[in-house]
Amino acid sequence: MARILQTKYQITNSLPVNEEEQPMGAIVKHNIPGLVNSFFEDWADQRPRKQEDKHFPSLQLEKNDQEYRLLMPLPGASKDGLKVKVEDGYLKIAGAYGSFTKEGFELVHRDFRRHERFERWLNIDDSKFAIDAIKAELAHGMLEVTLPLRAEEQRKQIEIKVN
C-alpha cells in the first residue's frame, strides 16, 4: 500500500507507508477521510477560501538520514513577503508572489500567473523533528525549509570491524 502526495486536481507522487522509517508518511493537500492516516494529515486547513486564495505553490520533498527538506518554487517572492513558523503542531508557510512588471511599463496581459497570496499548513510531529533547528532559506526564487530529525530518529550506520 502506498501513501500519496495529492493535490486537489491530480496525484503527483508516491511515498512509502512505514511511518517509523518514513516520519513524513504522506502529504495530503485535501484530506480524504479513510484514505490516509499520516504524519501530515491535513495538507491545507479546511477553512472556506476566497477565490483569490485557491493557489498553492508546488512542493518537493526530499530526505536523507539526518533531515527532510521541503522545496517550494516562489518566483518573485521576497524574504520580507514570506513567513515560515512552527505553531500548534503545524509548519506554516505564508506569503505572496511579487510582480514582474518593470518600472515604467504597464501590464497589458499576463497568462502565466497573477499576484498571488498563499498559505500552507503542514502538520508536523515535534517528537520526530528538532523544532528549534528548523531553517528556511530563499535563494533564486526557491524556498528551502530544512527539518532536522531528532537524534533518536536518525538512522545510524554501524561500523563493522574486522579482526
The confidence band for 119, taking pLDDT boundaries of 50, 70 and 90, is confident
User: pLDDT: is 84 or 27 the higher one?
Assistant: 84
Q: What is the pTM of this model?
A: 0.58
Question: What domains can you pick out in the chain, each with its CATH number?
Answer: 3-153 (2.60.40.790)
Q: What pairing do the DSSP bridges indicate for beta strands 60-63 and 117-123?
A: unpaired
d(CA 136, CA 94): 12
d(CA 102, CA 98): 11
Q: Left (φ > 0), alpha (ψ -120 to 50) or beta: where does 152 sit? A: alpha
Taking 70 as the threshold, does the pLDDT of residue 140 lie above it?
A: yes
User: pLDDT: is 117 or 80 the higher one?
Assistant: 80
The confidence band for 81, taking pLDDT boundaries of 50, 70 and 90, is confident
pLDDT in tens, 88-109: 888 999 988 766 677 888 877 6
| Nearest in space to 57 (alpha carbons), one of 71, 47, 69, 46 | 71
d(CA 6, CA 14): 9
Round the average pLDDT of the chain to a whole number and report it.
70
For 113, list phi and psi in degrees, rounded to 5.
180, 165
